Structure 1
Amino acid sequence: MSVHLQIAKQVSNHRKAQKEFLALDKKREKAIDRVLEDAKKGLHVSVHEINSITKEMNNIASTYHFPPRKEVTIDMVRDYLTKSE
């Protein structure tokens, strides 16, 4: 395989990973919004879905040198709601 084809393949893989990362980021933001809405209503909330998505994102991030995302805790949700009031 020529060097040009190898570079083209790397660029293609990088773009594919970037699209997947951005799609997961949108999915994560929606999950965060749902948790915040439930917490505002006083419902029981879980950050499991958010952190599952975060884990997928961080796996991609470590391979392609994208910025990693922090895992979310219940305390972070409570702090955000307290500050936004």
Structure 2
Amino acid sequence: MSVHKALTEHAKKQNKKFTDFLALDQRREEFISEAIELCKQGKDFSTEKINYVTNQINNLAEQVCVPTRKLVTPDMVHEYVLTLK
């Protein structure tokens, strides 16, 4: 019984980490979209929020098997926006 309980608790913890990853990844994508829109409009933007969430994702990746993400630079956003024109 205690082995079953331990496995169940472990599975719950793993599931929470995967759920956290999905939420963080979605938030990162939203911040990237915001930066792209600002860049397209010629307005100032920052990658600080993107990279804050990216670091959270990468820290989580050290604990559980989820993919890491690259930090984003303003140049990366500018280069991407140029491909849209």
TM-score normalised according to structure 2 size: 0.93
Match of 1:53, SS state, is helix
After the TM superposition, which segments of 4 or more aligned residues of structure 1 sit over 2 Å from their partners? Answer: none
Aligned residue number for residue 18 of structure 1: 18
AA of the residue aligned to 1:14: Q
Equivalent residue runs for 1:40-59 within 5 Å: 40-59=40-59
AA of the residue aligned to 1:42: G
Partners of 1:20 and 1:46 in 2: how far apart?
24
Aligned residue number for residue 83 of structure 1: 83
Partners of 1:80 and 1:39 in 2: how far apart?
10
Match of 1:64, SS state, is coil
Unaligned runs of 5+ in 1: none
AA of the residue aligned to 2:71: E
Q: CA RMSD in A?
A: 1.2
Aligned residue number for residue 36 of structure 1: 36
- Give the share of equivalent positions with the same residue, in percent: 38
Partners of 2:18 and 2:80 in 1: how far apart?
28
AA of the residue aligned to 1:84: L
Matched residue count: 85
